[in-house]
């Protein structure tokens, strides 16, 4: 049984969204495997159990690592790799990680698709970020407060998202790079007893 198959993970997003775990085989000298735990892009740190036929070791702290000679050997106790050693072993893999998504909140005036003055000034930053990343994965999600009916809130949050999408298209962002969705009032930013909660009248733009 290979070591790679014997690594049981609680959170392994390798090759999907992030490298939560880095695995290196065949280091200099006696062939060894080094497994290091990294945080997700949002800062969350999972738990990794490295298991062989001889036993297991658990990684719970970002940056810590274990070493294993082969599938029949006991993993070493978890240790903190120095920045220099981590970069020497995994520098290329870390640099290949996707950059952390950037999220923008654009607020709207009540019962309209007009951005607040502060959010109008934020639009150029959204454009700059998307252009600098050459992003082809941008989500534009519309939201509303709870002042209207469910159908109305879904409609106005959709129109808000489409308005933002259209502004970005006018500025040069390809329309096919963006996915537009509407949540209505079902996903409030803040829970409030007030139906006209201004912080919930928003469009969330996530640039990946």
Residue among 140, 152, 142 at smallest CA distance from 111: 152
Domains of the chain from N-terminus onward: 3-95 (no CATH), 102-207 (3.30.1330.60)
Which pLDDT value is given to residue 8? 37
- C-alpha to C-alpha distances, 122 to 30, 118, 119, 157, 171, nearest whole angstrom: 55, 7, 5, 19, 13
CB atoms within 10 A of CB 69: 16
> What tens digit of pLDDT does each residue of 42-60 get?
678 889 899 999 999 999 9
* Total Cβ atoms within 10 A of residue 65: 25
Give the range among 42-51, 117-126, 171-180 with minimum mean pLDDT: 42-51
Residue-wise pLDDT for 153-164, tens only, equals: 999 999 999 999
What tens digit of pLDDT does each residue of 177-194 get? 999 999 999 999 999 999
């Amino acid at each position: 049984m290979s070591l790679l198959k014997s690594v049981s993970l609680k959170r392994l997003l390798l090759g999907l969204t992030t490298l939560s775990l880095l695995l290196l085989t065949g280091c200099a000298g006696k062939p060894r495997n080094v497994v290091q735990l990294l945080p997700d892009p949002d800062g969350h740190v999972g738990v990794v159990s490295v298991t062989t036929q001889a036993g297991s070791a658990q990684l719970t702290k970002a940056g810590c690592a274990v070493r294993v000679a082969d599938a029949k050997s006991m993993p070493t106790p978890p240790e903190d790799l120095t920045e220099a050693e981590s970069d020497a072993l995994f520098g290329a893999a870390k640099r290949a990680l996707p950059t952390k998504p950037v999220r923008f909140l654009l607020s709207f005036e009540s019962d309209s698709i007009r951005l607040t003055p502060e959010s109008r000034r934020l639009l150029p930053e959204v454009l700059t970020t998307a252009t600098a990343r050459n992003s082809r994965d941008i989500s534009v999600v519309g939201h509303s407060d709870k002042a209207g009916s469910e159908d109305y809130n879904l409609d106005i949050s959709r129109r808000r998202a489409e308005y933002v999408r259209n502004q970005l298209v006018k500025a040069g962002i390809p329309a096919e790079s963006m996915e537009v969705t509407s949540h209505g009032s079902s996903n409030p930013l803040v829970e409030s007893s007030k139906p006209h909660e201004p912080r919930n009248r928003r469009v969330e733009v996530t640039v990946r």
